[in-house]
Structure 1
Amino acid sequence: MKKLFLIVFSLLLIGCANDDSPSEGDGSIKPKVSISVGNHASEPNTNGSFTLSLTGASSTVTTVTIEVSGTATNGEDYQTIGQQVNIPANTTSHSIPVTVIDDAETEGDETIIIEILSVSDHAEKGSPDTATMTLSEEPESFVLQPEDTPNYMVNPNSTAETIALFYNLKTISSDHFFIGQQDAFNSFYNNVDGDSDIKKLTGSDPALLGSDYMFITDDNNNGDPSNWFYQQEQIIMADAVEAYNKGMVNMFTWHLREPYEGDHFYASEMTQFQLDNAFASILPGGANHEYYKQKLQKVAEVANNLIGNDGKKVPIIFRPFHEFDGNWFWWGADYCTPQQFKECWQFTVTYLRDELGVNNMLFAYAPDNSYSSEMQYLQRYPGDAYVDVLAMDNYGDFNNQGQSGVTAANNKLKIVSDLAKQRVKIAALSETGYFVTPGDNSPISNFYSNNLYNAITNNNNHIAFMMFWSNSENTYCTPVPGMTDASDFMEFTDQPKSLLENELPNMYQLP
C-alpha cells in the first residue's frame, strides 16, 4: 500500500525591486504559490522535476505544506524528497528534483502527485495547487513494428512510402542521425554551383534536403512559365524529386507571407494592425480564412505532384509556423494565443489531409530554443493526432557559447528525445548552424565534431536528423574545401552516428 507523505517546504522570498510587485506588510495582494510539472521522469535513468512558482516576493519565510501521493512510492521508486528547502534570495520559483531509483521490475507507468495543502499566512495557494507527474518505463524496450506504424501517424492512410519513411526515421534514430541542409542543390558558398557544398567536401550529398514553400505560395506566382516565382516553384519541385530519386529525405518549411498585403513574414516589416490581426484572420471565420485555404491548396497541389522516377508520390516532412515561440515571425507568441495556434495547426492538418487528399506528408512541430521544460515545449502543442515529428530549431546555444551552450542544447534535445520516445514520434534538430563570414568572424574550434555532435548524441538522445541552414555567397554553415574548419566537418560526418546520403538504407520501403 502506498504511503502519503506530508512534507514542509520553507521558501525564502525576498522583496522584489519592481515597484508594482506586492510586498509583505503593505496591504497588497498576497503572493500565490502554485505547482506544476517541470519534466516527467522515466526508468531507468531519466530524472524529472516539479516546479513551485510564486507570483510575488516576500521578505519572510513562506512555509508550504504539501501532500505527496500517487502509485509510485517515495523513497523506493524515486529518492526521498527532502522535507525543507531554502529558496535563494530574489528567486520566485524552485525546482523539486525527482531522482529515479531503477529496479528490475516492469511496473508500467506510475504517477507522482503533489498537492499544496497550506501556505504561510502572508501567502496563499494559487492555481494549480496539484500536479501529477508520470513516472514511465523508459521506452527503450519498445520496438516499433512495421505493421503498427500507421497507428502512430497523423495520417494512417498515408502512402506506403510515407509510412516507410516514418518507420525508418523512428527506427534509425535509435543509433544514428541524418545530416541535412536547406536548399543544398541551389545555394552555395561563393556562388560556386554544381554539386552541393557538402558533396564538394565529403563526396556525398546530405541525407536530407530542406526546401521552402515561400516562393511557391507567393501572391506573385501566377503560374506563367515566364514568371520568376513560378520558375522557383519548378526548381524546388525538381530538387525534391531529385533528392527522392537519390534516396534522400525531403523537408519543407514555410515562410508564409502575412495575409493582408502578402509582402512580408518578418514582424519587424509589418504594420501594427497586421501584427494584431494577421494570425487570427486566417482562422476559421476570420477575414482571411479563404485566402489561407487558397495557400493550402497550393501546398497540396505541389505535394501531390511530386512524383519520383518510380511513379510514386514523394513523401515530405512539412514544418509550418516554425520558431513560433519567438516574435520575429507574424505567427510568433506575441501575435496569437496558444489556443489560436493549436486551432490553426489542427485546421491546417485536417484540411490538407481530409479535404485536399494529401497522403504523402509528415507534420513537424518545431519551436525555437526558448523552452527549458516539457511543459514549456508543449505549451502550443496541438496534440499527438496532429504531429509526426517533434523538433526544435536552435542557433542561439551554438553561437559561440562554449560548453555551457552545448550543455543547454543537449538538455533541450533531451526533452524532445524523451517526448518522442513516450509518444512514438520522431525527434529532430530541424534547423541549426553557426554562420561563418570570412573576414568578419572565424570558425569555432571543433564546432562540428565536438560541440554539435555532443549536443545531439549525449545524454542518451535519439535524434533522427539535423539540418544546417543554407550556404550563401559570403557566408556558410557548412564549409567547403580549403576552409580552416573543413577537417572538423569531415570528422563530424565520419562520427559513428552521423549519416550522409551515401550511407542511407532504403528509406521508402518497410522491412
Structure 2
Amino acid sequence: MMKRHIISFVTASLFILAASPAASAHTVSPVNPNAQPTTKATMNWLAHLPNRSENRVMSGAFGGYSLDTFSMAEANQLKNTTGQLPAIYGCDYARGWLEPADITDTVDHSCNSDLISYWKSGGIPQISMHLANPAFTSGHYKTQISNSQYQHILDSSTAEGKRLDAMLEKIADGLEELKNEGVPVLFRPLHEMNGEWFWWGLTEYNQKDSERIALYKQLYQKIYHYMTNERGLDNLIWVYAPDANRDFKADFYPGSSYVDIVGLDAYFADADSIQGYEELTSLDKPFAFTEVGPQEMNGSFDYASFINAIRQKYPKTVYFLAWNDGWSPAANKGASSLYNNSWTLNKGEVWDGDSLTPVVE
C-alpha cells in the first residue's frame, strides 16, 4: 500500500513538504520562483513520477472549448467506458474561429467552475487557447500572417498589439479566478508552433524561418511576463508543446526560464513511431504527450498500443491528454487498457483531498 502523506494539504491552497529524502535531495521547482506552494508541490510531484514503478503517467482528456462545447461529457463517457476519470481535464479558453465585433468575445472562461470542482475532487485542470488572430478584428486563427504583421502584434502601441493585450487580459482574468481558489493549472499557450496552421506558427510546411522562430519566442515570453510579472499568476505550470509530425520541435523553445514541461502534440497511426521524444527530453524538463489522438477518426485505433509504447519507448512521460470527439479513447478501441494500465494514474490517485500521492513508492 502506498504511503499518502509525503505532501500534506493544510488549507485549500497550501501544501507543506514533509521530510522526504527524495524531495530534499532533488526538488524540482516551477520556473516562476514566486509560484504558490500548491503549484510548487504539484510541479515537484509530477517531475518525480518517472521514479515510480507504477501509477506514474497521469491520464488526461479534453473537455472542449469554454462556452461553446466544454462539458463534463468526455469525462463521464470515459468513466462509463473504463471505470476511471482522467487525472487531468482540459479546457480551451479561446475560440479563435469566431468573428464577433469585439475580439475579446472569442475568449471565455466559464469552464472554471467545473475545473475548480475537478481539482477539489482529486484532478488537475489544463488550459489551452486557440487564439483569434490579432492581425484582424477577430477570428482568423488559421490565417497566416507575415513577419511584419507578427511584429505589429508584439507591439502594444499598435491596433494589433492592443487586440492581443485585450485577449490576454481576459484570459488572465480566468486564470486568476483559478489562482484565487488555490488551483494549479497546466498552461499550454501557443501550441503546435512548428506547424503551418496557426497564425503564431510557420507559414510553410517544414520550412525553417529563423525570423519567425525569434518572433514566436518573443510572443511566448511576452505572454509569460504578462501573466507572471504583471498579473501575478503564480498557479501556472508552463507547457511547451510542438507538433510531433513537423520538424524544428526544439527550435521554438523559448528558454528554460519560461518552460516547466515539454511535450508533443501527436496524432499518429503507429504509437511506436512518434517523432521527437529524444529531441524534447534532451531539454531536461519533464516530458508529456500534451495532445494525442489517432490520425484517422474511424474508431479503429487501439489505445492499448499507446500506453505500451509509453512503457517501452517513452518512459519519461509524466502525462498524456487525449483529445475528444472521434479521437477520444472512448470512441476507439483499448480505452480500458489505457486508463487501467498499472502505469496509468487517474483522478483520485493524484491526491485524495488531504495529500498528494508519494513521490516514490
Does TM, scored on the shorter chain, surpass 0.5? yes
**1-structure distance, mates of 2:96, 2:296:** 29
Asked whether 1:449 is paired with 2:304, we answer yes
Asked whether 1:428 is paired with 2:288, we answer yes
**Aligned residues of 2:63 and 2:72 also touching (Cα < 8 A):** no
After superposition, residues 273-422 of structure 1 pair within 5 angstroms as 274-275=145-146, 277-284=148-155, 287=158, 288-306=160-178, 312-334=181-203, 337-370=212-245, 376-395=248-267, 398-399=268-269, 405-409=270-274, 412-419=276-283
Q: 1:166 is matched with which residue: 20, 43, 50?
A: 43
Unaligned segments of structure 1, at least 5 residues: 1-141, 400-404
The residue number in structure 1 matching 2:319 is 465
**CA pair 186-276 structure 1, distance change in 2 beyond 3 A:** closer
**Aligned residues of 2:244 and 2:265 also touching (Cα < 8 A):** yes
Of structures 1 and 2, the larger Rg is shown by 1
The residue number in structure 2 matching 1:246 is 121
Asked whether 1:211 is paired with 2:91, we answer yes
**Aligned residues of 1:174 and 1:462 also touching (Cα < 8 A):** no
**Aligned residues of 1:319 and 1:363 also touching (Cα < 8 A):** yes
Larger relative contact order (Cα-Cα within 8 Å, sequence gap ≥ 6): 2
Deviation of 1:277 after TM superposition, in Å, equals 4.5
- For residues 438-477 of structure 1, give each alpha carbon's deviation from its aligned partner in whole angstroms, at most 9, with x where no partner exists: xxx3513xx2112x11332223621110011122xxx352
**Aligned residues of 1:319 and 1:366 also touching (Cα < 8 A):** yes
How many residues align? The count is: 324
**1-structure distance, mates of 2:75, 2:91:** 17
**1-structure distance, mates of 2:291, 2:66:** 18
Deviation of 1:304 after TM superposition, in Å, equals 1.0
Deviation of 1:501 after TM superposition, in Å, equals 0.9
Q: What letter corresponds to residue 416 of structure 1 in structure 2?
A: L
Q: TM-score, normalised by structure 1?
A: 0.56
**CA pair 206-149 structure 1, distance change in 2 beyond 3 A:** same
Deviation of 1:378 after TM superposition, in Å, equals 2.0
Deviation of 1:203 after TM superposition, in Å, equals 2.3
The residue number in structure 1 matching 2:340 is 494
Query: After TM superposition, where is structure 1 displaced by more than 6 Å over at least 4 residues in a row?
Result: 184-187, 216-219, 227-230
**Aligned residues of 1:316 and 1:362 also touching (Cα < 8 A):** yes
Q: TM-score, normalised by structure 2?
A: 0.78
Deviation of 1:204 after TM superposition, in Å, equals 2.3
Q: Percent identity?
A: 23
**Aligned residues of 2:59 and 2:319 also touching (Cα < 8 A):** yes
Q: 2:330 is matched with which residue: 451, 474, 479?
A: 479
- For residues 101-146 of structure 1, give each alpha carbon's deviation from its aligned partner in whole angstroms, at most 9, with x where no partner exists: xxxxxxxxxxxxxxxxxxxxxxxxxxxxxxxxxxxxxxxxx95548
**Aligned residues of 2:260 and 2:286 also touching (Cα < 8 A):** yes
**CA pair 479-185 structure 1, distance change in 2 beyond 3 A:** farther
**2-structure distance, mates of 1:460, 1:435:** 19
**1-structure distance, mates of 2:130, 2:85:** 25
